[in-house]
Amino acid sequence: MSPLKRVAYFFGLPIVLIVLWWALSFGSTNFFVPKPFELAQTLWTTWIGERFFEDVLPSLGRLAVGLLFAIGLGIVLGLLIGSTRWLRNLLEPMLEFFRAIPPPVLVPLLMLLIGVNDSMKVAVIISGAIWPVLLNTVEGVRAVDSVLNDSCRSYGIRGFARIRYFVLPAVTPQIMAGVRQSLSIGLILMVISEMFASSSGLGFTIVQFQRNFAIPEMWSGIVVLGLIGLGLALIFQFVERRVLHWYHGLKEITHDS
């Protein structure tokens, strides 16, 4: 495909949609629907400046801390549970149950146990985002290639070296699939924890705009959340490509043959 065509495919539909939106909202005085330029302006004036440091950055910080803990804990516990058979049998039904609890109901619960503060919000993110990583890791460790496993054993590779050079690479594809789910759950929980109990942060600010009928500002908040989601997805893609480049290469080869 020529570069020009690629650019056209990339920007074609978004541009058509924006033009359509602009044309449809041109003469309209509908209170609920903002105009494209107006929205872009509001986006700039509302979020760049003081609010960025007071609401957006703390929210992002909590999200980052929560996600890092969730992923780290999920992998470590997953490796531990996955490689010990009795532990896995013991905990599996309970873990399935915890995973099935819709994470948002933990917000009022953790509010009681921890109080309304930053660590509660981080705890909410961890308690919701850990399950996909944890369970995927357990599942991945269980399904490692048995021939490779036996080879490792006969070469006397065990302990840390076995985890580092055999188990971890083998389960990384599963872990990454879990991480992808965790990211979106984490973002949802960040917003909910701030909407439910907070006096600052993105979620709180957006609800505040809506209550005050500051409609363009509310829309701009939705756009900011969308951009954060998009940013997370891009970061994930970048990391996944680096971590799993061998895996994608392998899949291409087996697909072609």
Partner 1 sequence: MKKQRSPAGPRAKALGLGIGGIVLFFLIWEATPRLGLVSDRYLPPASEVLVRLAQYFTEAAFWKDVADTMTSWALGLAIATVAAIVVGLIIGSSRFLRRATHTTIEFLRPIPSVALIPLAVLIFGTSIESTLLLVVYASFWQVLLQLLYGIADVDAVANDTAKSYGLGRLARVRYVIWPTALPYLMTGLRLAAAVALILAITAELIIGTPGLGKQIALTQSGGAISSMYALVLATGLIGVLINLAARIIEKRVLSWHPSVRGEVVL
**Where on the chain is the footprint of partner 1 (CB under 8 A)?**
9-14, 17, 32, 86, 89-94, 96-109, 111-113, 184, 187-188, 191-192, 195-196, 203, 206-207, 209-210, 215, 218, 221-222, 225-226, 229-230, 232-233
Say which amino acid occupies 240.
E
Q: CB neighbours of 114 closer than 8 A, spacing ≥ 6? A: 120, 123
Query: Minimum distance between the CB of residue 12 and partner 1, rounded to whole angstroms?
Result: 6
Least spacing, CB of residue 159 vs partner 1, in Å: 25
Q: Rounded to the nearest whole angstrom, what is the least distance from the CB of residue 21 to partner 1 in the complex?
A: 13
Nearest to 180 by CA among 112, 101, 241, 249: 241
Give the max Cα distance, the chain: 76
Please identify, using beta-carbon distances, which residue of 142 and 162 lies nearer to partner 1: 142
Q: Which of residues 23 and 90 has its CB atom nearest to partner 1 in the complex?
A: 90
CB of 50 to partner 1, least distance (A): 21
Comparing CB distances to partner 1, the nearer of 13 and 76 is: 13
Closer CB to partner 1, residue 14 or residue 159?
14
Nearer to partner 1, 93 or 156 (CB): 93
User: Token digits for 42?
Assistant: 């509001």
What minimum distance in Å lies between the beta carbon of 160 and partner 1? 27
CB 180 within 8 A of CB 136: no
Q: Closer CB to partner 1, residue 41 or residue 181?
A: 181
In the complex, what is the shortest distance from the CB of residue 85 to partner 1, in angstroms, rounded to a whole number? 9
Return the number of the residue (27 or 93) whose C-beta is nearest partner 1.
Answer: 93
How near is the Cβ of 168 to partner 1 at its closest, in Å?
22
Please check whether residue 215 is in contact with residue 31, taking contact to mean a CB–CB distance below 8 angstroms: yes
